[in-house]
Structure formats: C-alpha cells, structure tokens
Amino acid sequence: MDVYLAISTVWAHLPLADAPVLDASYVAQVFSRALHILAAIILLGGLFYIRTVLAPAGDQACFAGRRAIWARWAGIASGLLLVTGIYNFLTINNQVKADGNTLERAYHMMFGVKFLLALLLMFLAAVLAGKTDLAERFRSQMGKWLNISWVVGLAIVIIAALLRTLH
C-alpha cells in the first residue's frame, strides 16, 4: 500500500499535460504492452540471430544441438504474443469507443493483415524448430525460410508502428 502511495504521489507530480489515471486497468495495459514487445524481441531476435550468425555456418550450426530449447522459447513467445496482442486490441478498441469514436476501417484492415502475418511467422518459427518430417523438409531449405520469416517479421513491425498512429 505504501509503495502504491509513493508511486501515485510521484505520478501526480509528473509534468504530463493529460496524465492517464493510475488504476488497475492502466497498469494491466502497460504490463501487456511490455510483454508483447518483449515476446516480439525474443521471437524476432532469435530468428535474426539464427539467420545472420548461425545459418551461414551450415544447417547443423543453426541450433548448436539445442533445437528443443529454442522450440520451447519460440512457443512461449508465440503464446504471449497472441494473448497480449488480443488483450491490446480489445483495450484499444474499448478505449476508443469510450471516447465516443470508433477505430478506422484502415485500422481493422491492417490489424487483420498483421494478425495473419503473425500466424504465418509463428508457424514458420515453430516448424523450423520442430521435430516432425515436415520440420525436416522445411529445414532442408533453412536459408530461404529464415529469409521469408525475417521479411514477414519486418512487415509485422512496420504495420504495428502504423497502427499506433491510427488511434
């Protein structure tokens, strides 16, 4: 309680023109956003590292014998992206409605494209780290699929940056 009091006192004195109310829903929103960004860093950062550092040394170097560990982290990051992404969308939508507006059609269209690209990226990350026959087939063209994953990831981040300007 003392910690909350201290934080809200500091908060009240921040030089913000239109300070958001420091309540549970605000804290949840910031927490969810931070988790979303963290999960995106893990998934894209991992794929970037495999593509640029490990893959040039040959397919066998990609996981350094620790494929299952990366598969688990790719799964955790994907799960977090889905949960926090849906939560972010719902809170943004509710907030815009509470202000008496609606999200633009362009927002919904871009969000739809981002969602589909995100599912594609999660599939690629999972199948490239998987242990099935399908995974082996994808891994036989590791460089190509890593390049595609990276382009898809880049498109997702650009769309995310654009979405932010639309509400």
Q: Is 88 in the site for ligand HEM (CB under 6 A)?
A: yes
Q: Is 43 in the site for ligand HEM (CB under 6 A)?
A: yes
Please check whether residue 145 is in contact with residue 134, taking contact to mean a CB–CB distance below 8 angstroms. Answer: no
C-alpha count within 13 angstroms, C-beta hemisphere, residue 11? 14
Please check whether residue 130 is in contact with residue 71, taking contact to mean a CB–CB distance below 8 angstroms. Answer: yes
Interacting residue with ligand HEM among 50, 51, 85, 138 (CB under 6 A):
85
Residue that is written with structure tokens 């269209």 in the block = 109
Q: Is 50 in the site for ligand HEM (CB under 6 A)?
A: no
Q: Is 167 in the site for ligand HEM (CB under 6 A)?
A: yes
Query: 64 to 83, contacts with ligand HEM by CB under 6 A?
Result: 81-82
Q: Is 109 in the site for ligand HEM (CB under 6 A)?
A: no
The window from 40-48, 53-61, 67-75, 139-147 that contacts ligand HEM (CB under 6 A) reads 40-48
Q: How far apart are CA 116 and CA 72, in angstroms?
A: 22
Q: Is 146 in the site for ligand HEM (CB under 6 A)?
A: no
Phi-psi region of 137 (alpha: psi -120 to 50; beta: other; left: phi over 0): alpha
Residue that is written with structure tokens 């809200």 in the block = 8
| In the complex, least distance from residue 23 CB atom to ligand HEM, rounded to whole angstroms | 19
Query: 15 to 34, contacts with ligand HEM by CB under 6 A?
Result: 33
